[in-house]
Structure 1
Amino acid sequence: MGAYTLTSTFFSATPTPTVSRYGRSKSSVSNFLSPHKSPNCLPAIFLALRNPSLCNSLKSNSDHPSSFDKLSHPKSPISSALDSLFVLCTSIALSFSLFIADVDLASAFVVTAPRKLQSDELATVRLFQDNTPSVVYITNLAVRQDAFTLDVLEVPQGSGSGFVWDKQGHIVTNYHVIRGASDLRVTLADQTTYDAKVVGFDQDKDVAVLRVEAPKDKLRPIPVGVSADLLVGQKVYAIGNPFGLDHTLTTGVISGLRREISSAATGRPIQDVIQTDAAINPGNSGGPLLDSSGNLIGINTAIYSPSGASSGVGFSIPVDTVGGIVDQLVKFGKVTRPILGIKFAPDQSVEQLGVSGVLVLDAPAEGPAGKAGLLPTKRDVYGRLILGDIITSVNGKKVANGSDLYRILDQCKVGDTVMVEVLRGDHKEKIPVILEPRADIS
């Protein structure tokens, strides 16, 4: 209706052409020839549209006065009525066409520009597209027996993420993702699912390696980077399947380096952990943490949150630690990490005694410490508690708690001889101990 009102205003306000003494219309012919006065030339245009022969004569003899004879004569009342009727019909037709068109009148004249992404957005999109095929979804299945039918069923008891390590079908994830599973299933990015077998795991560092019999053309190993040169503040990207959702990307920065967390399985400390504010939720465990180049720099393994959801403090095991563990698991199916062969008391118990160190509760005779002569805690014939040796240092490095002891042993190798200083009674002794590998765990 707006178009009809505007058109009617133009035509009703335009005066009837008058004839000059030279035979030309002052208000229509001269304005028709002047392109800068477009509103006044509309009557002449509509007359030309009604009379095609007039339009031709304008083109051929535009400089001759006789070319405008048809415009210079006064109009009869019938001709004026026909002109008004023509204008009215044209306006109604235009308004009706806009009314019936299934287009918003405001947006009909708006040209939408193509979507343009910034360079950093394009880089993030490309990183997600390039690395998603390397990320897998892992389902942990457990055997359950129905209480009524006594049928044995496999039911999902947990899920997590992982990533393709090589073309041989090795999948890397966290140990706590597969712990307690009777069967495991791995879903690739193309939604194909395969049964997985456990190649090996390291409970102390919360790393596990699986293997699937999938075609090599479906396996895309993730590019492996380094974590030794990371800096606080650089961008990182986490890809996983939080809460069982399909591939999800979260971004953030490295919030801290050289953090220490405890293994969910053994409580043994994991050193040099990466802290990030990229959102990590249940289901992200075992997924990759990538740098801005799309290279693997860590495995997302834990979050710090009282509620169990992401609170902006996530932890990833650095790839430099993971690489050596995975190589041993692929080659030998286990990690040969040295041990002292002792069981020690909780740190709080030692603090109550007013001493600093690690109290030996048990030292089996077949273990390294037992062979070297370390004394365990025991009771005498009257039931009184006799404290065992308290380890205060190893190789000259102070041991104040269990984490210190593990940290020192992580720097040693199987077969190394370490000098263990213990507090025995009211005096200190130094005892050499030959480190041995951990016994196989089924």
Structure 2
Amino acid sequence: EKNSIKLFQDCSPSVAHITTLRLGKDMSMNPVEIPRGTGSGFVWDKDGHIVTNYHVTMNGERARVTLSDASTWDGTLVGYAKNKDLAVLKISAPPSKLKPISVGTSQGLQVGQHVLAIGNPFGLDRTLTSGIISGVGRDIRSIGGRIIRGVIQTDASINPGNSGGPLLDSQGRLIGVNTAIYSPTGASAGVGFAIPVDTVRRVINQIIRDGKVVRPGLGIVCASESQTRQLGVTGVLVLGLSSNGAAAQAGLKGL
């Protein structure tokens, strides 16, 4: 019990409440900002980068980030990875107001391991829930339609508003980003999912550096399977190359 209390006291200052907004009009047709949704996030570094889910930010024209001291800051979208359901906002808060979360690893996680989640379910700021790792290596479909692999399953209560918040181990280290629940009602049913932190670290560092996720590619245009079959070719038939692609630089040539 004392460990959970200390963990919350140490880690909750790293957790942020995110509100997305869209410009609309009131009854008098005056322009007003209309809240579009809420979610969670956490401080990544002293430069003001805030990590959250892509689906938390996607329906708003701007974001408002509230830190643990109740100070509120405009969040600028640095970039996102739709297929990993991750996004990075940046706020202009001074370093003295920012407490970066302690980042762990998702390697070696065990079913039955104690975990805790901090977030803002239903708008209730910095709510702590606890549970265990119920499964590892799960696959879920991202909002972009691609499969996110190696996802952590937990029975720690995760509800609407928890999205983008941290999943922590018993030492208060980030091991995942809470992203989805399986529920027939939309409320927690004891089946929640978190993107593993090793994936998060790789994606977030790319977004901060490049503004997007850079995916490797060969830079080749291949014949279809039916074309190669008609030609009696086995293997991959290269029809063309991207001029600056890796294959062209390696000396490959197309037909």
Residue in 2 that maps onto 1:194: 73
Written as runs of structure 1 = structure 2, the 5 A alignment for 1:261-272 is 261-264=140-143, 266-272=144-150
Pairwise CA RMSD:
2.0
Alpha carbons of structure 1 residues 232 and 423: separation in structure 2 relative to 1, 3 Å:
farther
Summarize deviations over 1:209-235 as a string: whole Å, max 9, x none.
Answer: 111111211100000000011111100
* Contact 2:228 2:237 (C-alpha < 8 Å) held by counterparts: no
Residue type at the aligned position of 2:192: G
Residue 129 (str. 1) matches residue 15 (str. 2): no
The match for 1:219 among 91, 98, 112 is 98
Residue 289 (str. 1) matches residue 138 (str. 2): no
Residue in 2 that maps onto 1:256: 135
- Distance in 1, Cα, partners of 2:82 & 2:31: 29
* Contact 2:64 2:72 (C-alpha < 8 Å) held by counterparts: yes
Residue type at the aligned position of 2:148: I
Summarize deviations over 1:353-382 as a string: whole Å, max 9, x none.
Answer: xxxxxxxxxxxxxxx5xx6254xxxxxxxx
Written as runs of structure 1 = structure 2, the 5 A alignment for 1:71-220 is 121-146=1-26, 149-220=28-99
Shift, 1:144, TM fit? 1.7
Q: Which has the higher contact order (CA 8 A, sep 6+)?
A: 2
Residue in 2 that maps onto 1:328: 206
Q: Percent identity?
A: 55
Shift, 1:309, TM fit? 0.6
- Distance in 2, Cα, partners of 1:423 & 1:297: 45
Residue type at the aligned position of 2:177: I
- Distance in 1, Cα, partners of 2:132 & 2:31: 46
Alpha carbons of structure 1 residues 225 and 434: separation in structure 2 relative to 1, 3 Å:
farther
* Contact 2:158 2:188 (C-alpha < 8 Å) held by counterparts: yes
Residue type at the aligned position of 1:156: P
Residue type at the aligned position of 2:185: S
- Distance in 2, Cα, partners of 1:339 & 1:178: 28
Residue type at the aligned position of 1:184: A
Residue in 2 that maps onto 1:309: 187
- Distance in 1, Cα, partners of 2:163 & 2:31: 29
* Contact 2:53 2:163 (C-alpha < 8 Å) held by counterparts: yes
- Distance in 2, Cα, partners of 1:132 & 1:425: 58
Residue type at the aligned position of 1:311: A
Shift, 1:434, TM fit? 6.2
Alpha carbons of structure 1 residues 423 and 304: separation in structure 2 relative to 1, 3 Å:
farther
Secondary structure of 1:372 counterpart: strand
Residue in 1 that maps onto 2:253: none
Residue 372 (str. 1) matches residue 221 (str. 2): yes
How many residue pairs get aligned? The number is: 240
Summarize deviations over 1:327-346 as a string: whole Å, max 9, x none.
Answer: 11111111112469xxxxxx
Residue in 2 that maps onto 1:359: none
Alpha carbons of structure 1 residues 271 and 168: separation in structure 2 relative to 1, 3 Å:
same
Shift, 1:190, TM fit? 0.8
Shift, 1:239, TM fit? 0.3
Secondary structure of 2:122 counterpart: helix
- Structure 2, gaps ≥5 residues long: 247-255
Alpha carbons of structure 1 residues 174 and 434: separation in structure 2 relative to 1, 3 Å:
farther
| Shift >6 Å, 4+ stretches | 433-437
- Distance in 1, Cα, partners of 2:161 & 2:241: 41
Secondary structure of 1:274 counterpart: strand
Shift, 1:312, TM fit? 0.5
Secondary structure of 1:328 counterpart: helix
- Distance in 2, Cα, partners of 1:434 & 1:202: 26
Secondary structure of 1:323 counterpart: helix
- Distance in 1, Cα, partners of 2:113 & 2:43: 25
TM-score (norm 1): 0.52
Secondary structure of 1:139 counterpart: strand
Structure with greater strand share of residues = 2
Secondary structure of 1:124 counterpart: helix
Shift, 1:196, TM fit? 0.8
Written as runs of structure 1 = structure 2, the 5 A alignment for 1:352-367 is none
Residue in 1 that maps onto 2:251: none
Residue type at the aligned position of 1:431: L
